[in-house]
Amino acid sequence: MVIGAHPDDADVTTGGTAIQFAKLGHRVLFISVTNGDAGHFSNGGGALAKIRRSEAEEAGLRFGVTYKVLDNHDGELTADLNIRLDLIRLIREWKADVVIGPRPYDYHPDHRNTAILIQDAAFMVIVPNIAPDTPPLKKNPVFLFVQDRFQKPNPFSPDISVDISDVYKQKIYAVAAHESQFFEWLPWLAGTLDQVPQEEEAKLEWLGKQRKSEITPEIRTSLAKWYGVERSKSITAAESFEICEYGRMPGDDEIRRLFPMLGN
């Protein structure tokens, strides 16, 4: 279960891992806490939300995951009790073993508030008197943070790193389902709208280059831990996760059980 603030956040941070989970027969749920109704230059509101929802559904099909878009305003997310309770219910209904989301240190207030909401849901998912309409989980899930570049108050720590080299192309294809984002809004923001290729293949290639995140030395070390030094050297694409102290703290054995794609 991966929670993002917008209908493309989970995709970018965890899409490759999700594809691998799906191939292994695991059920994965992507959640967007907002409906994305602010993320465009010429469109907005409910009209935009509908486009983004249908793009998210298409992306879900491509990833092989279920995609759920909550109907909160984009760009105005707050860490309200009501939304916390919504997340608690979703985590319980999905009987999530692992909940993945952003750290509370991020440039976008929606991301920060999503992080707070997820932390606020941790532990509460096992308390029966909270959201009593939904049976509590027996065990607090493992909560993980996705990779980011922010250094303060402390940098992201890649406790778990997944080799997604073999599914990177599929990930980019799935991510590309968010047409209005990756080929319209984000290039517009970056002032590169005129560089977006027209042709489908070229668009995917362009996007693949854009979204390739650097494998830092710390991530390379983490990959070596999980896949062995040998294999780690040839990995070309990875997704990393930090263990959140507010959920269950898994040992290495449990991590390998939860992430069967990690090498032994």
Cα separation, 125 vs 184, whole angstroms = 38
To the nearest whole angstrom, how small is the minimum distance from the Cβ of residue 205 to its own copies? Answer: 27
Contact between 251 and its own copies (CB under 8 A)? no
Contact between 254 and its own copies (CB under 8 A)? no
Q: Find out whether the peptide bond into 153 is cis, omega within 30 degrees of 0.
A: yes
Cα separation, 113 vs 215, whole angstroms = 27
Contact between 133 and its own copies (CB under 8 A)? yes
Sole binder of its own copies in the list 25, 154, 194, 201 (CB under 8 A) = 154
Sole binder of its own copies in the list 28, 49, 100, 164 (CB under 8 A) = 49
Contact between 43 and its own copies (CB under 8 A)? yes
Cα separation, 5 vs 33, whole angstroms = 5
Contact between 118 and its own copies (CB under 8 A)? no
Sole binder of its own copies in the list 2, 31, 38, 91 (CB under 8 A) = 38
User: Phi/psi of residue 39, each to 5°?
Assistant: -85, 65
**Binding footprint of its own copies, residue count (CB under 8 A):** 60
Residues 58-117 that bind its own copies (CB under 8 A): 69, 71, 73-76, 78, 80-82, 84-85, 105-109, 112
Greatest Cα pair distance in the chain = 54
Binding segment for its own copies among 48-56, 162-170, 205-213, 250-258 (CB under 8 A)? Answer: 48-56
Contact between 39 and its own copies (CB under 8 A)? yes
Contact between 5 and its own copies (CB under 8 A)? no
Contact between 222 and its own copies (CB under 8 A)? no
Site residues for its own copies per CB under 8 A: 35, 37-50, 53, 69, 71, 73-76, 78, 80-82, 84-85, 105-109, 112, 119-120, 122-124, 126-134, 138, 149-154, 189, 191, 245-247
